[in-house]
Structure formats: C-alpha cells, structure tokens
Amino acid sequence: MKTNVYVLCGGKSVEHRVSLISASAIINSLDKKKYHVYPIYISDEGIWSNLGIVEDEIKEISELMYQSSNTVISSIETFLRSSFNEREQNIVFPALHGTNGEDGTIQGLLEILDIPYVGNGVMSSAIGIDKVVTKDLFAKHNIPQGKYTRLLQHQWKKDKLFSIERIEETIGYPAYVKPASLGSSVGINRCANREELEAAIHEAFSFEDKLVIEEEIIGREMQISVVGNEFPKASVVGEFIQERQFMDYAAKYTDGKLIQVIPAKLTEKVSELMREVAIKSFDVLNCSGLVRVDYFVTDDERFYVNEVNTMPGFTKLSMTPALWEKTDQTTYPELIEKLINLAFERYNKRKSFLYKRK
C-alpha cells in the first residue's frame, strides 16, 4: 500500500512564494510509485485547498495555487474530513517557511490530530524561529555569536530616543535590524547611522512587534545542515559567495547571484569545530529531522552562529540539498526520503509513551 504524503505549501506568511518553490521541488522528487502525493495549498489568507493527487511534474508554481471561497475554518474541516483514512499510512510534509508554518503552530495542530509530520516539533520550531529567544538560549550554552539586543514595539513607541541611544551604546554602527521571527531576509536592513536605524526599525515593525538588532560581523557567510533525531549528523561546511553586502530575498530566490562553494575553504580544524557547534545547536534546541545552522566566519577563521532555520528552503538554489550531496552523495530524492523516515521514527517513538496512569 502506498503512503499518502500531504505537502503543505504557501501559507499566511511573507515567505509564501518561497514555500511554493520548495514544495514544487519536493513534490517532483517524491517517488510516485511509492507515494500518493497531495499538494495542500494554503492561501495567504490561510484557506486550505487539497489540489488532488499529483502524477506529473510541477513545472510552474502557479500550478500549486488555488482560489477558494471557503473560510479558514471550513477549509481545514473539509481537508481533514476528506484526506485521512485510518486504514492507510499518512504523513504531512510542511514545506512552509516562517509564520504559521515554521513557528510551531502547524506542528501543534498535527500533534493534536496525531498525524506524523516531517521536521521539528512544536518547541523546537517555536524557539528556532524566534531569533531573540534562540540567541538567549545559545548564550547560556556558550555557543559563539555576535552582540545583539532586542527591541519591542511598545518600548519604541514609549521612548524612541532612549531606544536608539541604548542600541548605539550596546551595538553601535553599523548594525543590522531584523524582525525577530521572519526568514528569507525579509525586513532586514543594514544601518550606518541614526537616520538609517530609525527608518529600518520603522520598516521592521511593519512585519512584527519584536526585533533583534545585531552588530555587523565582517566575514564570509557559511552554512551547515544537520539531519537526524537522537544521533544527528552534520554536513560539510558550505559557503555562499555573493555580490551583495548581505543576502537579501532577491539574491536568494530571484536573480541567482549567489555561488555555492562546497566544501567551504577552511582549515580542517575549524571546519570540524563548526560541525560540532552545529550539532550542539541542534541538541540545545531539541531538534528533530533537520536544521540549518548559519555562520559568519572572519578572515582569521573565528566563527559565529548567525541563526538557525528549522525548515530550510528546498528550492533549486537552496544550500541544504547541495550540502548533503557533497557530504555523502545523498541525492535530493534520497534526502527527502530520509526526512520522511526520520519523521515516522519520531512519531513511533512518541506513540510508545504512556499518556495515562496504569
């Protein structure tokens, strides 16, 4: 009997389009002889639509989009009633990035419904998406990272001058302003002076009410993928060579102006230390399935964890699949298969626990 794989894509998130690109690649890589593959499109209003079983290759992301007249509640009810048969084996692959997909909310829903799913659980997802909470946790575990501070919207509204002066005293210029819980470089700006800082804060608060402000670290941007459950493994280190000062949304997903160098040019000692820190980060966040750990590496090979991504992109430009291909020749379809197997492993372990007293 084939396993039903429900690939969630789109979502009520600024990373809606990125999710569709990831989902199309995942859907195309799944073995249709082994799986029944169902794309589940979630509109940017949060309305769910089951697009039916896929047999052919997805060539355009528009094929994954559907305009529904349902409400959010009725659309989810329709999906649940029509999609799952207890006599069949089902699994959800949340190819969702950012809000309502990578933040623990969809994971919580699937936990309540007792449906296995790919990737990290509720706590790991919720912590991992919040850059401030992640950095606070990493600081307690001595994971190397740059200087940072947080800024809440109500603090900003109460006293803008005090907020700016505090940032200037603790971080200085240049500084990077980021929404705390968004990915794909959305809402991020580099600030060289007070005027730019104020404008960047104003823009970032249009996305959410908590920001992280970080010092600038001059260095190369590198990434490591960690895959596994109880015994995770780290990939080799990969590097992006870029034309821009930092990797914005267009550079990552639109204009292709990034060059992957795998493995990155590092001494063996530093490379191994970075892999150890990546696994430690995975363990600290209690991750399962996968995570991508992003670094800054200076010219003298000091390294700092920049952030983690608990559901990294799986587009044709994404680093995660490329890292594993260079690490142990794992192909894209094999990596997807491994993540599905890890998801069932985690689900079966959780099912073995007692939920009531004898």
Amino acid found at 72: V
- With beta carbons less than 8 A apart as the criterion, state whether 270 and 236 touch: no
Catalytic residues: 15, 184, 318
CA distances from 39 to 2, 6, 55, 94, 315 (A): 16, 6, 11, 10, 16
* Ramachandran area for residue 210 (φ above 0: left; ψ -120 to 50: alpha; else beta): beta
- With beta carbons less than 8 A apart as the criterion, state whether 149 and 307 touch: no
* Binding site members for Mg(2+): 294, 307, 309
Query: Where are the extended beta strands (E) located within 74-140?
Result: 90-94
* Binding site members: 294, 307, 309
Q: Which residue has the tokens 């700092």?
A: 304
Distance, in Å, from the CA atom of 120 to the CA atom of 165, rounded to the nearest integer, reads: 38
Kind of pairing between the strands at 220-228 and 233-234: antiparallel
